[in-house]
Structure 1
Amino acid sequence: MKKRIPFLALVLVLILALALPALAEPTECTHERKNPVAHQEPNCTERGWEAHMLCADCGMPFDLAGSPLDDIPYIECNQDHDYDTTQWGYVDDYGHAHTCIRNPEHHDEIRFHYPEDPEVYPLVCAECGYVIQEEPVDTIVTVTLPFLLTVEKTGELDPGPETFRFVAGEFIDSVELTVTKDSVETNGEKTYEGSFVFTIPESQLRILEEGLLFYQVKEDAQGWTYDSTIYYVMPYFIDLPAEVEWRILLLNEEGEPDYNNPQNQIVFTNLYNAQKPTEPETDPTTEPTAEPTTVPTTEEIVIPPTGDGGQPLLWTALILISSTAGICTVLLGRKRNIHMR
């Protein structure tokens, strides 16, 4: 055993002696074996390269003439996309596009959504089926138009309780306007603060912003003269539904809004004219005229009827008896005169 150890050590020394020179001085590649690499076109995702050669031993690139290159002659990516036109791979809130098969992050030109029927909700894109807008829930907005109404008397009597009505209209398009307050209650001579209140769907506010006419309804109450002023008002909705600003205009002689003469507020003035009732005048020196007395004639004397319908048969019998007695008396008197002769 002791004889074999020196032998093994000697073999190991020989191996190291042969290997160390090779490790210390590596053999330089002669690039005798070169493999050709064909030209490769780039696309949207992968780089291409020019035709070249690579050393089979060390991988060093060479051009086709055999000259060494610092790096592989790459060609950068281009816009060579392969779009999948069978489906809309890219869809957002604004539009849709076809995506590249190689890279879904790449897409062609975005086409904007357009509804198949703009009058039918929900609005669905005719090309990609994207729901552009669900059926809207229209909010009802309450709008208040303030104004002043002044009541003045031009006669002797004070004006009593009265109701005055107002109207807004003449829209450029049909609107679903619901009036909730259109009148002012007055009693006496003073200035009253009024308000014309109505509700309208929020989707129709754009129609309202074009302007509307506001005027008083002319009634036929006795003694009243109604203000016939017509205003043209345009609302500006700053913070729905709370804050509304109004632009107030009068109409010119042509019946058009006078934009050069804006008004600060809407004011109507109604006049009341009524006089106190007058009593007929009498002369204090004139004596009152006595009414003439009339005496009824014989023909006008009427026998008052008695009970039981006046008993006409009884009266008739009495008259006949009286007449007969008178006739008999006359005849007897004549007969006596004849005998005496």
Structure 2
Amino acid sequence: MNILLTGGAGYIGSHTAVALLEAGHHVVIIDNFCNSQRSVVNKIEQITGKKLICIEADVCNTPVVLKALQENQVDAVIHFAGLKAVGESVQNPLAYYANNITGTISLLEAMRTADVNVLVFSSSATVYGDPLYLPIDEKHPTSATSPYGRTKLHIEEMLKDMASSDPTWKIICLRYFNPVGAHDSGLIGEEPQGIPNNLTPYVARVASGILPQLQVFGGNYPTADGTGVRDYIHIMDLAEGHLAALNFVNQHPGWIAVNLGTGSGHSVLEVIHAYEAVVNSKIPFKIVDRRPGDIASCYAKVDSARELLQWVAKRGLSEMCESSWNFQRAK
């Protein structure tokens, strides 16, 4: 298949591109590189030994997206492009609504004109808000505690409406939990610009001496050690989940949402200690105030992914930390 990845040079997009290319698909990337590196495209090709097409553009530019769909005879789209930091979205909500929602509308308009109706959407567990019960299944009520989460929820609802309006649409929303780690090659991984918003790249930079200490946001949550608990999933497990989702949705018209996680949670302190075991040294940290929009615990029920997509996460926390550190050292 010919597959368009919006935001395909980003963290999740780049690893998914590797999985798709290695499975024999042809990949086209559209990325504006606002939070990714142009060099990643060459690294994807180096890992796979295969060429891809990369278009530097914003997904909000509908004519460019339409041209990419038509000229490359695209069969399906995986939509990653979007701003993604919870804390930043609280500080600047308008940017998140303008970018994430407008970008999706632009993409959908281009897809409709090009008669491309297969879509995998990069959603998030944030659509569940503060969990009413754990583990979280797909029937859990949706809500959101941040503008970022609300953009994901609004987009899911838009996509559901698209599928209801036209029975030819095939749409799956993948509700990610917390992707971490890197490709085994050490060539690609999570490399945010500026101070990282996510835990493991922050830990990696502290472990390598780039940053002096880690800030742990909140030490008084109702969890075993007081720090937030999340369902951390290895990035290559997540990438392989997209391949499984693409195979599924191509045969199933309509709209569906599926969790991608491991089914278990780890606290921030557990992740720090696992990383310390990998680097064989202590990682300095300081517990500071909670961030607005954060919640205490969040981990997935993953039965739907297993039954529908024939997919399960295979890699554990140690492998996540090892691959993250391997990527950090390779830089």
Answer whether TM exceeds 0.5 for this pair: no
- Would you tell me which structure has more helix in proportion to its own residues? 2
TM-score of the two chains, using structure 1 as the length reference: 0.17
TM-score of the two chains, using structure 2 as the length reference: 0.17
- Would you tell me which structure has more strand in proportion to its own residues? 1
